[in-house]
Amino acid sequence: MTTVCLTGQHSDHDVYAAQCPCRAMLDLLANKWSALAIGALEDGPRRFGELQRHLQGVSPKVLTQTLRRLKDFGLVDRTVYPAVPLHVEYSLTELGHSAAVPLRMLRSWVEDNIDSAARAGASCAG
């Protein structure tokens, strides 16, 4: 299949190419708050406050920006329910669920290997 994007017309995207749009998605998915937000949504929809409590340490501003970017890339849906007070839920799209699989493996690898990395001299600080 041929695709037309910022780098021109080609058969495959190349994340190593400077202008490839893959880089923007890689940047988003490599962000710790994106990876953690996707993980937090794997079990089902959550409200903003639930997400913020689950993602300990994230500020409301950063969580808002993260969810907005995830939505812009088609990874997260934002559903507004007409109620008083306003009820908004975030959930993974099909694309978001497909991204959750490798991110879950990455989170698990990090948890399994952080002690080895610390012994090797890496900092465990945020």
Token pair recorded at residue 45 = 């929809």
| Residue 121 within a domain | no
Mean pLDDT in residue range 73-98:
95
Count Cα neighbours of 114 within 13 Å in the Cβ-side half-sphere.
Answer: 9
Backbone angles phi, psi at 46, to 5 degrees: -140, 150
Window from 14-23, 46-55, 82-91 with minimum mean pLDDT? 14-23
Specify the number of domains making up the chain. 1
Q: SS3 for 91?
A: strand
Q: Are 22 and 15 in contact (CB under 8 A)?
A: yes
Q: Are 103 and 96 in contact (CB under 8 A)?
A: no
| Residue 99 within a domain | yes
Alpha-carbon span 78 to 65, nearest angstrom: 13
| Residue 43 within a domain | yes
Which tens digits make up the pLDDT trace of 63-82?
999 999 999 999 999 999 99
Q: Could you tell me the pTM of the whole model?
A: 0.83
- pLDDT band for 125, please (50, 70, 90 cuts): low
| Residue 52 within a domain | yes
| Residue 9 within a domain | no
Residue with the two structure tokens 């993974």: 92
Residue 68, domain CATH: 1.10.10.10
CA atoms 105, 106, 112, 113: torsion sign: positive
Cα 26 to chain centroid, rounded: 10
| Residue 41 within a domain | yes
- pLDDT band for 1, please (50, 70, 90 cuts): very low
On the question of pLDDT at 118 being above 90, the answer is no
| Residue 83 within a domain | yes
| Residue 104 within a domain | yes
Range of the domain at 41: 24-116
